[in-house]
Chains A and B, each alone.
Chain A
Amino acid sequence: MRPKNILIAIAAGIALAAGGAVAYRISAPAVMPTTATVLPVPMPLPEFSLLDQYGTAFGPERFRGQWSLVFFGFTHCPDICPLTLQVLATAKRRLIDRRHTPLPYIIFVSVDPERDTPEVIGQYVEHFGTDTLGVTGDAIELRRLTDGLGIYFARTPTDGDGYSVDHSTVVLLINPDGDFRAVFGSPHDADNFVRDLPLIQSRR
């Protein structure tokens, strides 16, 4: 075979291989999140002004630059709230063990700002470790955030002058642009976050 023909044969071979690879990529099923629902278009957060556990202003700009998993609850909730925060902490520890980056920040927003002062929520989230951040603040500002994200909460009276707070069980994922990117529905399991979070991050 003449050198020119060899070159043509090599070029044809490369083209075939490349074409095959492209065809495989098109036809191969994409690995999709199995439990999280990813928004078709990331949604900007509403304007709001709350406080973190240190008493520092906490607005939408605080979500920029990192991935955040956000859960809404309250410290007078002895069962499902600590269970969910424990699941999130376990998921983050498993991601750390796998040397996954970027790691998500875990943010716990109180839907009971009257009883959950920055000091109270600060002590509370410290129990879970993994840099969990507590957020609370003005009730009207809280409502601006929750209404903008479709998060429900409402007081329900208990015995005497006490009350409990019904609230959404979802965990929201906010991307480093500060946009609402995906939602994890309950029941929550650490494995769901460990599996789906990296997939969503890679699709960014």
Chain B
Amino acid sequence: MTRNVVVIAVSLLVACVDESGPPLVVSDVVIKRPIPGATVSAGYLELKNTSGQPITITGIASPQFESVEIHETIIADGIVGMRPVAQLSIAPGLSVRLEPGGKHLMLKQADSEAETVTLQLYSGSEMIISLDAKFASPSY
């Protein structure tokens, strides 16, 4: 019983701390420049939902690209395909990683002059977070 009380107390403390921070924490952001000749490139990042509610990303905007979409690389039976992901849901307290060979950002028609990229993540019409990242080398 005492142990349960301690666990509940700690959980409440964590919940209180989380309330003060941003609901969505973005890390490990890598936004690749297109390879010369290509008009698309990929972006990778980790999204952690620190709130007590599910968060659903329904769109991403960026002034440095014609469009930003969430895609998923799917490999089955030796065949690879890329499919759009309409929305990305992140459960409370959990993280979703966009990484090479899996879910990723599909970045189209980059502004070749840009050194820094701004990404605005939306849930419906509400912008949840805006972040800046340096353009990374196209190499993996």
A residues sitting closer than 8 Å to B (CB atoms) are 75-80, 82-83, 86, 119-124, 126-127, 152, 156, 158-159, 164, 166-170, 185-187
Pick the most buried of A119, A120, A127: most chain B CB atoms within 10 A of its CB: A127
| Residues B140 and A186 in contact, CB atoms below 8 Å apart | no
Does residue B116 face the partner (Cβ distance < 8 Å to A)? no
A164-B81, A164-B82 as given contacts; A78 in contact with B107, CB under 8 Å: yes
A80-B73, A82-B138, A86-B140 as given contacts; A169 in contact with B36, CB under 8 Å: no
| Residues B101 and A83 in contact, CB atoms below 8 Å apart | yes
Does residue B37 face the partner (Cβ distance < 8 Å to A)? yes
A79-B104, A80-B73 as given contacts; A127 in contact with B80, CB under 8 Å: no
Question: A132 → chain B, closest Cβ, in Å?
Answer: 12
Which residues on B sit within 8 Å (CB–CB) of A185?
78
Question: B126 → chain A, closest Cβ, in Å?
Answer: 22
Question: A55 → chain B, closest Cβ, in Å?
Answer: 15
Interface residues contributed by chain B, number (CB under 8 Å)? 28
Which residues on B sit within 8 Å (CB–CB) of A124?
35-38
Question: A162 → chain B, closest Cβ, in Å?
Answer: 9
| Residues B78 and A75 in contact, CB atoms below 8 Å apart | no
| Residues A166 and B140 in contact, CB atoms below 8 Å apart | no
| Residues A120 and B37 in contact, CB atoms below 8 Å apart | yes
Docked complex Cα distance between A109 and B100 (Å): 22
Interface residues of B in 108-139 (CB under 8 A from A): 138-139
Stretch at the interface among B6-14, B20-28, B39-47, B55-63: B39-47
Task: Give which listed residue, A76, A119, A167, contacts B40 with CB less than 8 A.
Answer: A76
A82-B140, A83-B100, A187-B101 as given contacts; A127 in contact with B35, CB under 8 Å: yes
| Residues B40 and A78 in contact, CB atoms below 8 Å apart | yes
Per DSSP, chain B at the interface is strand
B residues sitting closer than 8 Å to A (CB atoms) are 32, 34-42, 69, 71, 73, 75, 78-82, 84, 100-101, 104, 106-107, 138-140
Question: A170 → chain B, closest Cβ, in Å?
Answer: 6
Task: Give which listed residue, A158, A159, A168, contacts B78 with CB less than 8 A.
Answer: A168
| Residues B35 and A169 in contact, CB atoms below 8 Å apart | no
| Residues A79 and B38 in contact, CB atoms below 8 Å apart | no
Question: Can you report 22 residue pairs joining A to B where beta carbons are below 8 Å apart?
Answer: A76-B39, A77-B82, A78-B32, A78-B34, A78-B41, A79-B101, A80-B73, A80-B82, A80-B101, A82-B42, A82-B138, A83-B100, A83-B101, A120-B38, A124-B35, A124-B36, A124-B37, A126-B36, A127-B139, A166-B79, A167-B80, A186-B78
| Residues B75 and A169 in contact, CB atoms below 8 Å apart | yes
Which residues on B sit within 8 Å (CB–CB) of A166?
79-81
Docked complex Cα distance between A125 and B40 (Å): 15
Question: B85 → chain A, closest Cβ, in Å?
Answer: 12
| Residues A122 and B37 in contact, CB atoms below 8 Å apart | yes
A76-B40, A78-B38, A78-B104 as given contacts; A167 in contact with B140, CB under 8 Å: no
Which residues on B sit within 8 Å (CB–CB) of A120?
37-38
| Residues B139 and A76 in contact, CB atoms below 8 Å apart | no
Who on chain A is nearest to B74 by CB?
A: A166
